[in-house]
Chain A
């Protein structure tokens, strides 16, 4: 793991990520996908084509035209193992349904260098995604805050 570790980026490299826009795009949850996702949660499939809210993790990422790997790379993660979750904030205004084409836009809303209580350095990056219905209503807003730890693992 240590052999693959990347050097710590400059603070300026991190703070300039604020305002970064992802390409944006569309995402449709297929029935098979919702079935498998829901099964992973241990719940029964929801009625009437409702998508399990756990999909609010990957729908915005993929639909915005990015990937977990790219989000790791933007913050110059020292390895795939170095990312810690601070929080997820999922707001749902309209329940998501299978086979519906949602439009997604996204940006990095903050990026800062921090130290934890032990004095360890990390970079805190917050991603915000908005998911819109086909008639342009706001269906959901997802805010993900990750810590890019440095030399902690």
Chain B
């Protein structure tokens, strides 16, 4: 699947009344990429991922996933992607095992495969010690692991993750990262949003940055770094490498806000 276009958008726009949350975005993600989608709060990240996964209708523009138009072939597209959305898409009154069984069947897996993968995923995610506990009684981290398990049960070619590591402890995060990297080595594409730039820098090969609804940067980390370093007046750190945080702040202009001072605060 590598080098084929996995996700592409053309002039993708979403308006909420007067507000243009996503403005004419042309995005291209190649197959096999671990793609980080970044932006400040309210920049349009969640709106974008919701549109890419079919949870939100675009106001205009096109989305193609694995070369298929999402608007006209939504069922086919949904069958080949996995999603961990912001709300986690869980049914609180099922146990973890019942939930995964339900998800497997909704994705068309047969009875045996569903049961087998459910068991494997529960063990992998270390969720086997609470077989009778309802999902609603899980901690947030456990719910997130379950949502991740549900997103991969059908073996998706593309995985969309909205803040996958938020609220997850270091051990669980390690488990999830290992799973995601194994998926990448097997040719899957992963598209994630995160506020934790260190994680994105460590995991992702490519990033895009959205600010005020517009796509302001896109490429591999090296390409973005080289682009900034090539500009005049940019101070390159002594170790000779700009971090993703520095790249991000340079592109979205965050340093200016940090310089401000609220004089009435002690």
Q: Do A and B share a complex?
A: no
